[in-house]
Amino acid sequence: MSQIGPNIKKLRKVKGLSQQAFAELFNLSRGNISSYEEQRAEPKIDVTTQIAQYFSIPLQDLLHKSLSVNEILKFDDYFEPKSSLKNSSFKNIPFLSKDHFQELEKYSGNLELLPQITFPIFSPKQFLAIELQHLVDHHIDFSFQEGAIAFFKKLHVGSLHLIHNQFGMYYQEDTLFIGKYFVEDKKITLALNDWQQVIVNPEQLEHFWRYDGIFQQVLD
């Protein structure tokens, strides 16, 4: 039995995308995504291939395997047998816990002043992890569980054409919010809501981050 519908729903949820946002990534309608998730229809093979490539999921796994959250976030590949964990080289990532949000001005956006957590993300890219709480200003479509840890990857010029309708974070001195990127012509904005947004300046990308994934408990 095909797993494409349940896997699309799980991909969308883990990546924090609404049905509309997911649909726009692949030139589909929200109704298309709804019908796939409810298994009333299946996407064409070219669409399925695009989804697999976009999220770096093997096509056969997307079609026939019930993907786990760890597989979607690429964590499974990083864990080794328990006996060899001591030899692993996990990534140290600057970490903003809920306590740090009370004194953002103390760190002034300097990641070197933050404590670090060790996590199995093997990538040369720069990451920032934050402990989510509803006091953090966030876009209305960005859903999360209180206390979950979200990972953000530093935005770079080569990925600017891929960030439309993607979630991201702006962090500079005492200002931090999670918004959604919008690309129109050559203008890129990160919007928190209809009234607050910042223009992405390619010369100041150190303040902009792209949402990469989330780690949270699965509640019964």
pLDDT in tens, 180-215: 999 988 899 999 998 999 999 888 899 999 999 888
Which residues, 6+ apart, have CB-to-CB distance to 155 below 8 Å?
163, 168, 200, 205, 208, 209, 210
- For the chain, give the percent of residues with pLDDT over 70: 87
Beginning with the edge strand found earlier in the chain, give each strand of the sheet holding 91-96 in spatial order: 116-119, 91-96, 127-131, 149-154, 208-215, 167-172, 175-184, 187-191, 197-199
Element (H, E) at 68: none
pLDDT averaged over the chain? 83
Specify the amino acid at residue 185. D
Q: What is the pLDDT of residue 135?
A: 83
Strands 116-119 and 91-96: antiparallel
| Cα 191 from Cα 139, distance rounded (Å) | 8
Spell out the domains of the chain, with CATH numbers in brackets. Answer: 4-71 (1.10.260.40), 82-215 (2.10.109)
Q: Is pLDDT at 27 greater than 80 in this prediction?
A: yes
pLDDT in tens, 32-69: 999 999 999 999 999 999 898 888 888 888 999 888 77
| Cα 63 from Cα 57, distance rounded (Å) | 10
Which residues, 6+ apart, have CB-to-CB distance to 185 below 8 Å?
none
pLDDT in tens, 77-116: 433 434 344 444 578 888 888 777 777 777 766 788 888 8
The closest of 1, 9, 24, 8 to 166, measured between CA atoms, is 24
Q: Is pLDDT at 167 greater than 70 in this prediction?
A: yes
Which residues, 6+ apart, have CB-to-CB distance to 191 below 8 Å?
139, 179, 180, 181, 182, 197
